[in-house]
Structure 1
Amino acid sequence: MSGILNPEVLVLGAAGTVGSGVVGALLEAGSPVLAVGRDGPRMQSLAAHFADEPALEIMTPGCISNDEDAAKLVAILRQRQRPLRAVFASLATPLESGRLLDKPTDFLRNKLEYDLLPHLAAARHLIPLLGEQEGMSHYVLIGGPHAECGWAGYGHASITAAALRMLTNVLHEEAQALGVRVQMLAVDKPLTTPDNARNACAEWPSAMAVGRHAVSLLTRTERTRAVVPFDAGRALTPPRALFSEFSFPLATRETNS
């Protein structure tokens, strides 16, 4: 087939609460979305929720844990021969409470292995791919509410979140030479979800609000800092279709559909 295609956006951790909000905000903004997440009920629920959205594609492999996983994903993306304009990364394991002093050192080691190193593996392979595109590309991480000060009872998560924020600052500097803007949207409050809605505070944002602010980073050229605090005023429906300024020809090729 032939025609015009808008650039795609990749969402890592799409099956999570924040990831699903980013997926929804991107689809709302008119962007084709490639969703990557751990295969299971949550990814199936995401696919079912957006079953009527032809712009959403669920991708395999389903998650990134190391360099090998990231390299496989990039190989698949190259085979698509379609421009990739942005990557959103929301990779984290469920929170587990406990005092830092009460847990063995391996607990922190595992937390870093599962919540920090996958981000580095993904960035090492995807940022160079984004750098091959014409114009500015974006790599956006989503940070949680416990990076600047210790979160009582969740010290391991606070340490990992602080390390992720520093990783963002380093990648922000290193990726500039490649034409890729790396940023983190730092969400300083828990999210309101259907499970906690009864007890949630009024100022807690929804996943969709976080997604909308994250998507707005793709269009706001003045926000050049590495870490951007969440702002409910930026969590608005986009005024126009995302990437409407781009016009990429779609080469004729065979498809399996």
Structure 2
Amino acid sequence: MSNADRVVLALGGAGTVGSGIVKALLDKGFKVAVISRDNSRLDKLRGFVSPSTRDNLTTLVGNVGSEEGAEVVKQALLKSVGKVTDIVSSLGFSWWQGGPPHSQTLKELHWVIETLLFSTFVSWKVFFPLVRDDPNCTYTFITGGAGEKLLMPGTGFLTVGAASTLAFCQVLREEYPEVPCKLNQVKINTGVAPPERVAPGYLNHLDLGEAVATLVERKNTTHTVFPVNCPADLKTVILEGALHPPPSLPFIWVQLSGMAHP
């Protein structure tokens, strides 16, 4: 199956991390669909991608955070593109600096968990059946290292939410050990920003997008976690053709939640 015959659903594709992935996928010849609750973000994305590839981008307004909303937008998606062959999930938000836990409300914690965990769960439940039984299909999660360490004082709730997403990804790896679809995770352990805001040690979101698009394109790995700790790791993916996770990590997850530049 050529890239031109593949349709990638980019969940979180209108964000900083997601937009870099969307652009790279389009530049490689994929058709790409992006869902967002905010039409202005979709307009911005359409203006960001290469003009020559814009006709291969489908954008839909919808809410993948609720089961009802996700089901509705799934039907609209299938009506627009006909099929989905690959899914990349980079749901999340930029650094959340709301203060120490004792100063926060339960409502704030609910919001963090809803944004990072519930949306990831709902979108998985609704869209995974579209690719689950086909060995030529892929589902790649982008996750972040905020779930394993406190980024800075005042961001504790972000750590709680991101850790919940990491745990959910682990559950999926172990619950679906022999699913035909290629399940992968890329776990980003550093900041991600657009070129004009890249700081030392940060990943350029365009370089990250190229690496993830290459991973989706090759579809030759499954159930592997690929930790990315620095820009050099992305060069390994692009130039050498594969990430090299430790043998003890059998699944591919990309988790960027909470790692975008503020």
Q: TM-score, normalised by structure 1?
A: 0.79
What is the rounded CA distance, in whole Å, between the counterparts of 1:68 and 1:178 in structure 2? 26
Within 5 A, what are the aligned runs for 1:82-121? 82-97=82-97, 98-121=99-122
Q: In structure 2, do the counterparts of structure 1 residues 135 and 182 end up closer, same or farther at CA, with 3 Å as the change threshold?
A: closer
2:18 matched to which residue of 1?
Answer: 19
Structure with higher RCO (Cα < 8 A, 6+ apart) = 1
1:10 matched to which residue of 2?
Answer: 9
2:33 matched to which residue of 1?
Answer: 34
Amino acid at match of 1:68: E
Could you say what secondary structure the match of 2:95 adopts? Answer: coil
Shift of 1:237: 7.5
Could you say what secondary structure the match of 1:52 adopts? Answer: helix
Shift of 1:11: 0.6
What is the rounded CA distance, in whole Å, between the counterparts of 1:149 and 1:209 in structure 2? 24
What is the rounded CA distance, in whole Å, between the counterparts of 2:69 and 2:9 in structure 1? 15
Question: Which runs of structure 1 show a deviation greater than 6 angstroms over 4 or more consecutive aligned residues?
Answer: none
| Bigger mean CA offset, 5-14 vs 88-97 | 88-97
What is the rounded CA distance, in whole Å, between the counterparts of 1:29 and 1:194 in structure 2? 20
- Based on CA coordinates, which of the two structures has the bigger radius of gyration? 1
Shift of 1:155: 0.9
Shift of 1:61: 2.9
1:161 matched to which residue of 2?
Answer: 162
Within 5 A, what are the aligned runs for 1:39-188? 39-50=38-49, 51-80=51-80, 82-97=82-97, 98-132=99-133, 134-153=134-153, 154-188=155-189
Shift of 1:152: 2.4
1:254 matched to which residue of 2?
Answer: none
How large is the RMSD of aligned CA atoms in angstroms?
2.5
Is the 2:173–2:223 contact (alpha carbons within 8 Å) kept by the matching residues of 1?
A: no
Shift of 1:186: 0.9
Q: In structure 2, do the counterparts of structure 1 residues 170 and 149 end up closer, same or farther at CA, with 3 Å as the change threshold?
A: same
Could you say what secondary structure the match of 1:229 adopts? Answer: strand
| Bigger mean CA offset, 46-55 vs 86-95 | 46-55
Q: Does 1:189 align with 2:190?
A: yes
Is the 2:20–2:208 contact (alpha carbons within 8 Å) kept by the matching residues of 1?
A: yes
Q: How high is the sequence identity, in percent, across the aligned residues?
A: 22
Amino acid at match of 1:12: L
Shift of 1:176: 4.3
What is the rounded CA distance, in whole Å, between the counterparts of 2:239 and 2:34 in structure 1? 21
Could you say what secondary structure the match of 1:131 adopts? Answer: coil
Structure with more of its chain in helix, by fraction:
2
What is the rounded CA distance, in whole Å, between the counterparts of 1:187 and 1:22 in structure 2? 14
Amino acid at match of 1:212: E
What is the rounded CA distance, in whole Å, between the counterparts of 1:175 and 1:82 in structure 2? 26
What is the rounded CA distance, in whole Å, between the counterparts of 1:186 and 1:143 in structure 2? 5
Unaligned runs of 5+ in 1: 240-257
Could you say what secondary structure the match of 1:59 adopts? Answer: strand
Shift of 1:145: 3.1
Could you say what secondary structure the match of 1:92 adopts? Answer: coil
| Bigger mean CA offset, 157-166 vs 214-223 | 214-223
| Bigger mean CA offset, 118-127 vs 210-219 | 210-219
Aligned length: 231
Shift of 1:41: 3.3
Is the 1:142–1:186 contact (alpha carbons within 8 Å) kept by the matching residues of 2?
A: yes
Could you say what secondary structure the match of 1:34 adopts? Answer: strand
Q: TM-score, normalised by structure 2?
A: 0.78
Q: In structure 2, do the counterparts of structure 1 residues 76 and 42 end up closer, same or farther at CA, with 3 Å as the change threshold?
A: closer
Q: In structure 2, do the counterparts of structure 1 residues 183 and 143 end up closer, same or farther at CA, with 3 Å as the change threshold?
A: same
Is the 2:39–2:61 contact (alpha carbons within 8 Å) kept by the matching residues of 1?
A: no
Is the 1:10–1:33 contact (alpha carbons within 8 Å) kept by the matching residues of 2?
A: yes
* Aligned counterpart for 1:232 among listed residues 228, 231, 234: 234
